[in-house]
Amino acid sequence: MSSLTLALTILGGLVLAAVVAYNTLMSRRNAPRQPDAVDVALADAERALSGAADGVEPMLHVDPNQLAGSDRHEPLFDPDLPAPSGVPVPTGERRGGLDPLIDVIAPISLEGLASGDAAIAAMPPTRRAGSKPVAIEGLNEHNGQWEPPVPGQRYSAFQVGVQLANRTGALNEIEYSEFVVKAQAFADAVNGAPEFPEMLDEVARARELDQFASAHDAQLGFVLRALHAAWSPGYVQQNAARLGFVAGIIPGRMVLPTGEVGLPPILGLAFDTQAALADDPAQSAIRELSLSLDVPQVDRGEEPFRRMREAAATLAREMDGVVTDSDGQLLRDETMDVIGADLEQLYDTLDARDLAAGSPLARRLFS
């Protein structure tokens, strides 16, 4: 073999090796980022010790089929918008779980006492009037408190209520009529006499409350987009877990829970469900995820926006991404400051209406 042939052979081998190395490098660079092996092992050990019962996502029970058909307009983020005039805001005393601020309440008087067992047997099979929840409470003979009927207890009166508004819209005449039918049937079963408020007045109150709620509703969302390499589901979950997020009920969803069991989560984090359900999730490429905050559902004292902003900034820094809005526009600090100031005004407006964010009434109204 001549020296020229040998040189060409060596050169060809070097070129081939360079091509293979380059392809390997690009493959690794473009492959979804994977979680750190040590952290994965620790997480598996923690799950084995804690059991499968932990980490259940706190959530509100909202029927998505009801929301899908809603014609309610997009919430206006204007905390200074005044409450519409013409319909007085009720200031009646709160009675049990029902509240005259957001409920139509029909009292039911009794000639004697009724048992909780009889009341439970007389409950309507579905406690909804259209898209609005219906609740029944009794006045406990022993403690004088309004409560849902309990077996073994006796009640001197009942009250039936239907919610004036929620995110599906305002209570309408048809829903009010359905409420009356259900309440009357219950009253007949317990030998009671109901007293119903005037329908037109209550429907007008419902429209006013719905107008206020829709104008002061706020659901914020940030999008975190990968700058270079995509992320695997495990990589996203690992980085989010370091900030306190836990796995949600739906694949591809994580939540930042509150310290109190049963309350809605402070923040939500979501990415492609199909990526989470893939046969080999490690090979799924995720290029964006969303952070969300349902403002009226979370107590102001939790500082949810500050935590959302910090979580977005930390994830962007650790995962090599950028924070944008849903249209892909970068969210800079100045924009974040403006959003935060608007939120403080919104909180003040809700407080003034006795619908403080995170309160039971607010969670019911904005659901």
* The pLDDT value given to residue 235: 95
Quick one: what percent of the chain has pLDDT higher than 70? 74
* The pLDDT value given to residue 9: 66
CATH node for 43-62+218-365: 3.30.1400.10
pLDDT, tens only, 34-43: 576 545 544 4
What number of other Cβ atoms are within 10 A of residue 223's Cβ? Answer: 19
The more confident residue out of 45 and 241 is: 241
The more confident residue out of 155 and 51 is: 155
Residue 150 pLDDT exceeds 50: yes
Residues 6+ apart with CB under 8 A from 317: none
Q: How far apart are CA 138 and CA 152, in angstroms?
A: 13
Residue 281 pLDDT exceeds 80: no
- Going by the DSSP 8-state scheme, the letter that residue 330 receives in this structure is B
Q: Where are the beta strands (DSSP E) in 36-180?
A: 103-115, 128-129, 132-140, 146-147, 154-163, 165-166, 169-170
pLDDT band at residue 32 using 50, 70 and 90 as cut-offs: low
| Residue 184 phi, psi dihedral angles, 5° rounding | -65, -40
SS3 content of the chain, % helix, strand, coil (to 5): 40, 20, 35
- Residues 224-250 have a mean pLDDT of 95
Residues 6+ apart with CB under 8 A from 216: 75, 76, 79, 81, 296, 346, 349, 350
The more confident residue out of 182 and 33 is: 182
- Residue where the block lists tokens 């829709």: 214
Superfamily name with CATH number, domain 103-214: ZipA, C-terminal FtsZ-binding domain (3.30.1400.10)
| Measured CA angle at 135 (ends 189, 365), to 5 deg | 160
Is the distance from CB of 274 to CB of 298 less than 8 angstroms?
no
β-partners of residue 20 are: none
pLDDT band at residue 172 using 50, 70 and 90 as cut-offs: very high
- Residues 95-121 have a mean pLDDT of 93
* The pLDDT value given to residue 62: 35
The more confident residue out of 21 and 334 is: 334
- Residues 295-317 have a mean pLDDT of 97
**Region class of 152: left (phi > 0), else alpha (psi between -120 and 50), else beta:** left
The candidate with the shortest Cα–Cα distance to 66, out of 197, 163, 177, 146, is 163
* The pLDDT value given to residue 171: 98
The domain ranges of the chain are: 43-62+218-365, 103-214
pLDDT band at residue 283 using 50, 70 and 90 as cut-offs: confident
Greatest mean pLDDT among 20-24, 42-46, 196-200 lies in 196-200
The more confident residue out of 92 and 9 is: 9
- Residues 180-185 have a mean pLDDT of 98
Residue 89 pLDDT exceeds 60: no
Residue 272 pLDDT exceeds 60: yes
pLDDT band at residue 191 using 50, 70 and 90 as cut-offs: very high
**43-62+218-365 and 103-214: same fold?**
yes
Q: How far apart are CA 325 and CA 292, in angstroms?
A: 11
Quick one: what percent of the chain has pLDDT higher than 90? 69
* Mean residue pLDDT across the chain: 83
* The pLDDT value given to residue 14: 63
* The pLDDT value given to residue 303: 97
